[in-house]
Amino acid sequence: MRFKVRLAAVTLAVLSPALAEAAPEPKTVLLLPLEHPGLPEEVVKVLEQALRAEVEKALPKLELLPAPKLDFQAMRLAAGCSDDGPGCLTTIAKELGAGRVLRAQLVGSAKKATLKMTLVRAQTGKADNLPSAELRELAVESGPELRYHVAKAFGGKPAPLFGALELTVTGRDPSLEGAEYFLDDEKVAAKALQKVSPGDHRLSVHRPGYESVIWMGEVLPGRKTNVKLEWKAAAAAPPPPPSMAVTPPIDPEKGLPKVEAPPPKTLPPPVEPPPALVTEAPPRLVFTWVFATGALVAGATWGVLGAQVLDRENQAVDEMLNCDDSIDVNKATCSGGRKLATFTNVAIAATGVFVGATVAAFFLEDGPTVLFGEDPPPAQAGIGPTADGQGVEAAVSLRF
């Protein structure tokens, strides 16, 4: 008897997984609370109601379980899930006795959010990622738009979702009598503004006697967009041009009337354009500045070498040397002093040469005109042959 009981227990244990897999899937679906980016409570309430209504319509053969009290994160912790993938959704569905579980998320912000939905079968763990959709300006009025996208995600064919333009006139004259409407540069009736395709549009409203009002903006699906109008009186029309004189009828006996030609107009004599001004570039003292720079460098060298010569002379005095004596002439102090004296003489000669070249270049390059303009300079110099042609003479004149 014990052997038979044990055999039955072993048989039941072996067949339990197969029986569990063969068990029918519950005809229920669990819709998790809508996950959102911190929307107001009244907006979330409207969106969840729209979501549940459309899911129940899209899955008519499944029973929609009551909404759970906990949000998804709390349910995930209660189920002991380490992630939020399909495995965790399967665990939650089995614990609550649901055949399927649907997770809906609004990812982004209230300005622009993406609707993502994941449907998981509890028996197989298979997850279906439904097509996503984009919603803008989430508000209480976003319920119809959410239902539209949920229906399309489940393969439905909902009717096109249009928006509307609601006109509000402010100011002293709130009437729309006689107004004409142009939507995207096409004339339409007033009732056409109640069925506008979503997207960017341009509305122009014209009324006789007033300036046209132009509105440009976006029309959201399933929403009314308010357009404010304020009539401003149009500017007065310009006066009509003067009427043309009517030619009198021609008398056949008198013939054509005589028309005196106006006196010819005397044209003023042509004005000749002034001659073009030719501006010559002022001469530049190129060589004067070059030689003057050489004179400055040579003079500075002369000063430096002269100071070193004086220093050697003082050193010879301190060492009690007579550099003119044949005994001391080869001493380092005396020999170095002679070399410095030679270089100093060369620098003196170079300074004189550069100074003379600077003066000559100054006058050859017309330096007085450059410095003093057309007026004669205060000092003038000249070089030329003598009267007998046997020599050269120089002359310098000073003006005070």
- Model confidence pLDDT, tens digit, residues 103-144: 999 999 999 999 999 999 988 989 999 999 999 999 999 999
Q: What is the mean pLDDT of residues 214-227?
A: 92
* Burial degree of 103 (CB within 10 A; 0-12, 13-18, 19+): buried
290, two tokens: 């070059």
Q: What is the mean pLDDT of residues 39-53?
A: 94
Q: Return the pLDDT at 25.
A: 82
Strand 28-31 to 63-64 pairing: parallel
Q: What is the mean pLDDT of residues 275-293?
A: 68
Confidence of residue 333 (pLDDT cuts 50, 70, 90): confident
User: Distance between CA atoms of 180 and 204, rounded to whole angstroms?
Assistant: 8
Q: Return the pLDDT at 9.
A: 39
> Residues of the chain with pLDDT > 70: what percent?
76
User: Distance between CA atoms of 152 and 158, rounded to whole angstroms?
Assistant: 7
Q: Return the pLDDT at 116.
A: 95
The pLDDT of residue 74 is above 50: yes
159, two tokens: 């009717």
The pLDDT of residue 176 is above 50: yes
Q: Return the pLDDT at 110.
A: 92
Q: Return the pLDDT at 171.
A: 82
* Residue of higher predicted confidence among 9 and 289: 289
Q: What is the mean pLDDT of residues 12-35?
A: 68
The pLDDT of residue 78 is above 80: yes
Confidence of residue 16 (pLDDT cuts 50, 70, 90): very low
The answer to whether the predicted template modeling score (pTM) of the entire model surpasses 0.95 is no
Q: Return the pLDDT at 368.
A: 72
> Residues of the chain with pLDDT > 90: what percent?
40
277, two tokens: 């001004």
What are the residues whose beta carbons fall under 8 Å from the beta carbon of 55, sequence distance 6 or more? 29, 31, 64, 102, 150, 154
